Structure 1
Amino acid sequence: HSLHDFAWTPDGDLIFRESIFHHSQVETPWGPVRQQNSGWFRMNPRRHHLLSFGTYHSTNPWGVTFDDWGNHVASHPVFAAAFHSLDPPYPQQHPRPVGLQAYSGVCGHEFVDFDTFPDDLQGDHFIKVRYKPTNRVEILKWKETEFGYEEEYVSDLVFSTNLSFIPVDLRYGPDGAMYVCDWYNPVKGHAQYSLRDERRDRHSGRIWRITAKDKPTLSPPNFAEMSVGELVATLGRREYRYRYWAKRELRERDSDEVRLALNNWLAQLDKADPRYPHHQLEALWTGRSVGQFDVRLLRELLESEDHHARAAAVQQIRYTDRHLDDEGELLMRAAQDPKGLVRMEAAIAASYVGTPEALEAVVQTLNHPVGGHLAYAIRCSLGSEKLRAHWETDPSSRVPTLMARLEKSSELKEPKPSAAEAEFDRQPNLATIQVSCVPERMRFSMEEIAVFAGQPVKIVFSNPDANDHNFVLVKPGALEEVGMAANEMAKDPKNANSDFIPQKKRSLILDHSPMIGPNRKTQIHVLRFVAPEEPGVYPFVCTFPGHWVVMKGNMAVGETLEAANKMLADLQPQIVREWSLADFPEIEVKQDEQRVMRGMNAFMKARCTQCHKVAGHGVELGPDLADVAKRFQGKKLLQQLLEPSVEINKKFQPQQFILKNGKVVAGVVMEETDTMLHVVSNLLTPQMVTKVPVAQIEERIPSRVSPMPTGLLNVLQRDEILDLLTFLESGGYKLPDHIHGHHHK
């Protein structure tokens, strides 16, 4: 129960944990740190700075390591990196991690990265020891998901029926062999057995040494005798433990010499090397561990093409001690990253930064798909002590509502399977996919699924949204036909409360759920099916009338998973041509429902929803395009889309302000009084406001360039552009009146 799991983090802090029944108050130079009933501590030894984080009601979880990119791996929880939000006000704890992998009885982990072990285990496998209930050493696969990581059991490495075999830790040695510590005692409980139980063995204990057949071990390096340059060069090795030991030694050397060696090492590396972002990250971590934090390198990594590097860099924003003057902007950018792992790190880092801008960044993550570890990280961050102070006493804050929805989503439990369903779920190649509905966004939490032909698939579909939705998987090319048929169903009042599964198109539908949601019998449904044998892209969609154009995704079926992922990558919109007004000498806009729906699809494809709303779809950062269509039609409307700077809406016109102190502020004025201007530099981050005192303005220069970029229609075909005009001039798709009472807007 007492302090355990001491380990050095990749960036040089000491991490350790305390278990249930303990209440701690630690006096530090920075003030008291309190925690109770299980949680983590992190100490910076150079500054004697102690943090408490990740507290939630659990038992006695042991075992800790870090993967190649610095993600914290433990037992309860497994993907512990998602649990790093700072604690809520003492003595409160974070919520239980419902539905996330978490186990007791695990004592240690080690990722396979030494060449002394088999090739097929390298890179994405780790080994852990279990002292209960199995008494075994297991091989597991480390699998990245849309919102974090999960482990998957592969096989046993060591197993014994001897109850005295109790593995309690394991570690690679410098020679590349793996060493397992065996407590070797038949009594492993402190409360279940008498302290005088004669079976207690106080003298025995074993160390097992595991090597691979036909794989030679290594000659251990002597880190103590290496130069600083040699130690830094070791950071480029694959073996985590070698890098770990090298950094331990570097912390004992002169920090200025280490910084110089790191710079020289990076300068000599090949930037085209796939491992280059990782080498940069090791340099950043090492610099921080010796008190030489490299802000320039941090900014480079935040822009890395590798999302693992971006996520690890965002994590470091927690520890910059407010030395960055644009923390809020950096967090906001990360909160809108296309990768869930980066958004998760942004949410967690916000709990450390603790500013109103940081809170807004967490809220922004909810505008993107949310689920699993990401959803848990967001809940914990919003509940952390620093961020709670900004919303708890604000009666106008949306945060309590958002947290309630996240909590409700986490409480949606998969129904108990029947015997046949349980047998289906035991198949070895089963792909289990969690798909939820993003509240208020009309989006699935997962919009791309990759499976191989003939693979058994289980989709756990949940809906915490205020609207009802379904999940319908259709054949390639059948999306529009099925969607339009659902629209036709809406015209008949007797279908107002139906599942909107068009019976005449059943031959085009592979599988579907009923409508689920707050107005239906359930908010969760499980689909089980075998992926088609025919490779291709199979759309999935919500067929509620009008939703099917917006709320959709694709399941790629390939001969292999790699082939399926390539199909998804190839689906990204490609440039058709650089359209100009001269390409449209005649414009004919036909008002019919099918063209309106196709135009709505073009509206989504051109990504107009980033800044504009039409009929409730999209984000209101620019003028509602339905209002624009009231002022312009036909060719004039098309010109506004192709040449947005021809006539700029005064409300959204960028301006440049030259201040008396020489500074320049540029952006759109969102609010103006006699004494103050509220300026937003980037409409994609409207909460990042710069306040400009009117008295400080030397000159005010309106821009002649619209904030709307040109070229947005270049991904559309000619017919799609004409359909888009039809959609805009129509004001968007409108539900029949008899449907409104059955579906909340």
Structure 2
Amino acid sequence: MKKLILIFLLGIHPGTLLAQPKNYSVGPAPRDNSSKAELASFRIAKGYTVSLFASEQDGIANPIAMRWGPKGRLWVLCSLVYPQAIPSEVPNDKLFILEDSDHDGQVDTTLVFADRLDMPTGFALGNGGVYLGQGQDLVFLADTNGDDRADHREVVLSGFGTGDTHQNINSFTWSPGGELLFCQGLHNFSRVETPWGIVRMNEHGVWRLRPRRMQLHAFRGCSGQNPWGLSHGHWGQPFAKSNGNAVSELLPVMVHTENRHPPLDIGGTRIKSMICEIIDSPALPDDLQGNIVIAGYFAHLIDRLRITSDGAGHRGELLDPLWTTDHQSFRPVDIQTGPDGALYIADWYNPIIGHYQASLRHPDRDKTHGRIWRLTAEGKRTVRAPNYHLMPTRELLESLCAAPLKERERLRIILSDRYADSERRAEIHHELANWISSFDPLDPHLDRQIFEALCLHEWFEIINSDLLERLLSARDPLARSYATRIVGRWHDRLPAPLKYLRDSVADAHPRVRLEAVVAASQLMSTEAMETAVLALNAPTDRFIEAALRQCAHALQRWWFTSLKEGQLAIKDTRHLAFLLDQTSGRDAAGIARTLLEDTSLKPSSPAFPVLAMILATQGSVEDLDWLVAKAHGDLQNSTPVLSAMQESASIRELKPRNPNLDSLLTSAVTNGTAAQQIHALHLIGYWQLLDLRELVITVIFNTRTSPEVRIAALRSTSHFPKIAEDRIDDLSKLTTLPGDIRIRHAALDALTAMNVGRAAQIAAEALIAAGPSDPLEPYLIPFLTRSDGALALSSSLQKTELSLGLRARIRGALGAAGLHSAHLEKALEPPSEESSPTIGLPVYSQQWIDSLAAEARKDGDSERGSKVYHRDSLACTKCHVISGQGMDFGPELTAVGAGLPLEIIIESVVWPRRQIKEGYLSTSITTRDGLVVSGHLKHEDSQRIIIEDAITRRSRMLAPAQVQHRQDAGTIMPPGLTAQLSREELRDLVRFLSERKGK
């Protein structure tokens, strides 16, 4: 089916939903809310054991985030105010400290560090206190008298967006160098004033704060629409977790620019999840080490990915989950490795996870329960971590290299607390210098020692260029890559940062080159771009290319000015073409033309098609004339020019005036390669070159010409305003002649543009004559993609006798193509006197839903429902994925039954427009020449509109000037798609969907 519309946690905008007269959106709450009952429901992977560390009996309810503190105690943030405060009540959320004093794996003491908090969404310990996000503020809490109660509160920064409470700043995570990273979601718009100026972030992304300098950076996009989860690898490699499926490589997009780059996903879970905890623990099995463990809040499980290197970045392989359950209230929302090496999981415990499908005041929103679970490995002893907070500084420093990943972070936090007062900066500087002086040059762990020492220099903003140079020349490429990152951070306090970056951008390892590009983006100079682009001298991958694109946007103000003034030192045309491809406007086109005019640049050069595309799509009429002359004088090498002009003609109403245009296109059609013929034929149509119309028609009827070229000629004719009647007769005959079926379909498409009534008659006859395995879409799409087509086709269909089976097949074909029309819906209704076993399209009714739900629970058959789901006439798999099978144009259904009760599934299937998932709202645009484009709006600005076309499933770009009419069409899934089903078939289908739990 075209589109089941689902509602998920952390992702629905209220304006997209219709009011529901009855709340079907949550299933029944558990009858037994005890931790014992929940524990009994867990299915744990072999070799592991789960036990309860803390619960509501210890004061923990609705835990949102947790962190291990300097003294080996677990800090837990809980919010009972979420998802919305009650106006008459004073918010009183709390930050707790939990202590297991006898180390038996269960909490013994609970303390309240801070209360009267207002819906906080995350925190981090460090620098002598707690950084906590609540609403628009990042606040700092501190205990100044040692009684474990916050007695100091100050607002560090303010102005963070609060458009949606679950999208407020979250996932506070320290980098190895003391940078505080945190996330923000889709509907939040932030304007944060800092000593360095106002920093903005519109919509989703990741923030980076350098607390000792109060330097804040915003990185847009990064990982899904609502990122919730950050982590760093052993050498500081940053990862981000969306609240959807994906885990993303964060580094390439950590460039401060308003340009939002698509996330660089490296793997993911089957269904929505959050948090990414990297495992490094002596108390856990070897096969878990280095895995990313993920909280599956939606499908009630703990997932994991194996992470391996992939060029400059990484890739993730999904493994079997660590544990699963069918308990509807198990909601893991945070995972932390404890000092004892065990894994601790914060369980928000709630049957309701969404905002908008259930009332904010729904009585089943659990405000009294919450758990912290502890996962250990059988046959592995947990460890007793030293009392690090009591150790002298030198012992802490010497413990850094051997400690596990999360313990190293805790050691740095202890040192940041101990020397939080800026007056003690000299003391830590002295301690670090003494420690560094003891390093043995022959120690096999020297790179790690220098890395840890440099990270602490970063924490305290102490510049040490000598130590930096040592790490830049380290044996381990990951050590060199991190050192390169520090060059970017310290660039304004280093004497020659570009010297370091020029070495790094030429490094043999791609990760170092990637770090060099990202570091260069911070230098804000032409020279920095000249350095970064040198990465193109070595092999690149998607990670390096993404960073280079972002760097080009970030530094455009400098390098583009230098380029226009002739001062840019970049001489390699391929490098210049890459940079120009990230810009727009007449200036870019002018530079592209200058480069193309250089006779040393051959059409076979990789830079040539890039520059030609820039000139054609951004240049003037004169520039198009120059391209025509260029191609006319060298037909053999004209393919990139013709391709660029075709792209320009498809999005701009700009036509060259060069008198050689007709001659060029005639030569390309008659003497060119197949690719040149296809480009030329499209251009003849786009530019409506009437003098060449007969040439196009000749190609159409030349059976010795390849089908691809003939199809291009047919597409070309659809742009002509008129054509002779005898030619229309010939075209009509072509729609039914034996031969290549693609030719017949293209002929019908062309005829629809010239004589829609005649085309509709032919299409109706073809639909009736179609065999059981013949595709129907080619006879429908031409009419649904023209403003006058649906009415013409429906009129022709109403004059014919359509069997019930054919009506069902046509509905399925329309659904598969994402097409629907009120005219066709009426034409496909069975005659009133004809008895039908199908349900038709019932009027929305709570009673009808309740009745079908009861039948599905009692008599529904999931196995039969699977066969209905996979039926070709429904085309469910053309848009939806279940367990990796299908196409992902619509929402994934792998765990639909885990997140939605049966009644909402029924409503989504039968009346899809009542439930529209965020990101899947359909937009329909009618162009000035009568074409209709429908699909998902992906991007819009003053120069272009990009729609993911529902028919081709490819992005289609339109210029705003091409738009005559536009409307939000609701959902791609057409109404009445299930009308062809019997009640028993629908019952089985929804039973099948309700049992998709993501397991």
1:182 match: 347
2:283 match: 116
The one of 196, 200, 210 equivalent to 2:365 is 200
Per the alignment, do residues 383 and 65 of structure 1 end up closer, same or farther by CA in structure 2, a change over 3 Å counting?
same
The whole-number CA distance in structure 2 between the counterparts of 1:466 and 1:260 is 63
1:531 match: none
Per the alignment, do residues 202 and 439 of structure 1 end up closer, same or farther by CA in structure 2, a change over 3 Å counting?
farther
The whole-number CA distance in structure 2 between the counterparts of 1:22 and 1:130 is 24
Per the alignment, do residues 275 and 81 of structure 1 end up closer, same or farther by CA in structure 2, a change over 3 Å counting?
farther
Displacement of 1:69 in angstroms is 0.4
The whole-number CA distance in structure 2 between the counterparts of 1:232 and 1:466 is 60
The whole-number CA distance in structure 2 between the counterparts of 1:165 and 1:392 is 56
1:361 match: 531
1:43 match: 209
Contact 1:277/1:304 (8 A) holds in 2: yes
Aligned counterparts, 1:116-195, within 5 A: 116-122=283-289, 124-132=290-298, 134-195=299-360
1:221 match: 386
The whole-number CA distance in structure 2 between the counterparts of 1:259 and 1:39 is 34
Structure 2: tracts of 5 or more residues without a match? 1-166, 584-603, 609-638, 642-670, 676-708, 712-999
Confirm whether residue 285 of structure 1 aligns to residue 440 of structure 2: no
1:11 match: 177
Per the alignment, do residues 497 and 273 of structure 1 end up closer, same or farther by CA in structure 2, a change over 3 Å counting?
farther
Per the alignment, do residues 332 and 497 of structure 1 end up closer, same or farther by CA in structure 2, a change over 3 Å counting?
farther
- Secondary structure of the corresponding residue to residue 377 of structure 2: coil
Confirm whether residue 349 of structure 1 aligns to residue 519 of structure 2: yes
The whole-number CA distance in structure 2 between the counterparts of 1:87 and 1:181 is 33
- Secondary structure of the corresponding residue to residue 62 of structure 1: strand
Contact 2:222/2:240 (8 A) holds in 1: no
The whole-number CA distance in structure 2 between the counterparts of 1:67 and 1:86 is 19
Counterpart residue identity of residue 87, structure 1: H
Displacement of 1:275 in angstroms is 3.0
1:383 match: 553
Displacement of 1:259 in angstroms is 2.8
- Secondary structure of the corresponding residue to residue 306 of structure 2: strand
1:187-211: CA deviation from partner (whole Å, max 9, x where unpaired)? 1111222113232111111111011
Displacement of 1:245 in angstroms is 1.1
The whole-number CA distance in structure 2 between the counterparts of 1:194 and 1:403 is 50
The whole-number CA distance in structure 2 between the counterparts of 1:209 and 1:262 is 36
Displacement of 1:101 in angstroms is 4.4
Contact 2:463/2:493 (8 A) holds in 1: no
Aligned counterparts, 1:672-691, within 5 A: none
The whole-number CA distance in structure 1 between the counterparts of 2:447 and 2:559 is 36
Counterpart residue identity of residue 386, structure 2: P
Displacement of 1:120 in angstroms is 3.0
Displacement of 1:250 in angstroms is 0.9
The whole-number CA distance in structure 1 between the counterparts of 2:306 and 2:557 is 37
Displacement of 1:44 in angstroms is 1.6
Aligned counterparts, 1:61-140, within 5 A: 61-76=227-242, 78-88=247-257, 92-97=258-263, 101=267, 105-122=272-289, 124-132=290-298, 134-140=299-305
Per the alignment, do residues 403 and 160 of structure 1 end up closer, same or farther by CA in structure 2, a change over 3 Å counting?
farther
2:482 match: 312
Contact 2:249/2:265 (8 A) holds in 1: no
Confirm whether residue 233 of structure 1 aligns to residue 415 of structure 2: no
Displacement of 1:388 in angstroms is 3.8
Contact 2:202/2:220 (8 A) holds in 1: no
Counterpart residue identity of residue 260, structure 2: H
The whole-number CA distance in structure 1 between the counterparts of 2:306 and 2:444 is 22
- Secondary structure of the corresponding residue to residue 389 of structure 1: helix
The whole-number CA distance in structure 2 between the counterparts of 1:187 and 1:400 is 53
Contact 2:334/2:346 (8 A) holds in 1: yes
TM-score, with length taken from structure 1: 0.52
Displacement of 1:98 in angstroms is 6.5
Displacement of 1:51 in angstroms is 1.7
Contact 1:64/1:109 (8 A) holds in 2: yes
Where is the helix percentage greater, Structure 1 or Structure 2? 2
The whole-number CA distance in structure 2 between the counterparts of 1:328 and 1:466 is 37
Contact 1:368/1:438 (8 A) holds in 2: no
Aligned counterparts, 1:552-571, within 5 A: none
Displacement of 1:87 in angstroms is 2.5
Equivalenced residue count is: 418
Structure 1: tracts of 5 or more residues without a match? 408-436, 442-464, 468-493, 499-518, 522-745
- Secondary structure of the corresponding residue to residue 333 of structure 2: strand
1:344-398: CA deviation from partner (whole Å, max 9, x where unpaired)? 11111111112212101121111211112121111111111x4443216844677
Counterpart residue identity of residue 211, structure 2: P
Displacement of 1:270 in angstroms is 4.3
Displacement of 1:57 in angstroms is 8.6
Displacement of 1:128 in angstroms is 1.9
Contact 1:234/1:242 (8 A) holds in 2: no
Indicate the structure whose relative CO is greater, using CA pairs within 8 Å and at least 6 residues apart. 2
Contact 1:318/1:352 (8 A) holds in 2: yes
Contact 1:100/1:372 (8 A) holds in 2: no
Contact 1:57/1:93 (8 A) holds in 2: no
Contact 1:137/1:158 (8 A) holds in 2: yes
The whole-number CA distance in structure 2 between the counterparts of 1:300 and 1:339 is 17
Aligned counterparts, 1:519-668, within 5 A: none
Larger Rg: 2
Counterpart residue identity of residue 48, structure 1: M
1:170-194: CA deviation from partner (whole Å, max 9, x where unpaired)? 1011121110011111211112221
Displacement of 1:337 in angstroms is 1.3
Aligned counterparts, 1:251-266, within 5 A: 251=416, 252-253=418-419, 254-266=424-436
Per the alignment, do residues 354 and 214 of structure 1 end up closer, same or farther by CA in structure 2, a change over 3 Å counting?
same
Aligned counterparts, 1:473-492, within 5 A: none
Counterpart residue identity of residue 537, structure 2: N
RMSD: 3.3
Per the alignment, do residues 152 and 102 of structure 1 end up closer, same or farther by CA in structure 2, a change over 3 Å counting?
closer
Counterpart residue identity of residue 275, structure 2: G
Per the alignment, do residues 257 and 117 of structure 1 end up closer, same or farther by CA in structure 2, a change over 3 Å counting?
same
Displacement of 1:316 in angstroms is 0.5
TM-score, with length taken from structure 2: 0.39
Per the alignment, do residues 57 and 234 of structure 1 end up closer, same or farther by CA in structure 2, a change over 3 Å counting?
closer
Contact 2:274/2:296 (8 A) holds in 1: yes
Per the alignment, do residues 55 and 93 of structure 1 end up closer, same or farther by CA in structure 2, a change over 3 Å counting?
farther
- Secondary structure of the corresponding residue to residue 78 of structure 1: strand
Displacement of 1:299 in angstroms is 0.7
Aligned counterparts, 1:459-478, within 5 A: none
Displacement of 1:317 in angstroms is 1.1
Counterpart residue identity of residue 391, structure 2: M
Aligned counterparts, 1:400-439, within 5 A: 401-403=577-579, 439=606
Counterpart residue identity of residue 335, structure 2: L
1:663-700: CA deviation from partner (whole Å, max 9, x where unpaired)? xxxxxxxxxxxxxxxxxxxxxxxxxxxxxxxxxxxxxx
2:591 match: none
Counterpart residue identity of residue 126, structure 1: I
Displacement of 1:97 in angstroms is 3.2
2:541 match: 371
Counterpart residue identity of residue 288, structure 1: E
- Secondary structure of the corresponding residue to residue 296 of structure 1: helix
Displacement of 1:301 in angstroms is 0.9
Displacement of 1:406 in angstroms is 8.1
The whole-number CA distance in structure 1 between the counterparts of 2:255 and 2:551 is 7
The whole-number CA distance in structure 2 between the counterparts of 1:288 and 1:236 is 17
The one of 316, 326, 334 equivalent to 2:504 is 334
The whole-number CA distance in structure 2 between the counterparts of 1:201 and 1:131 is 15
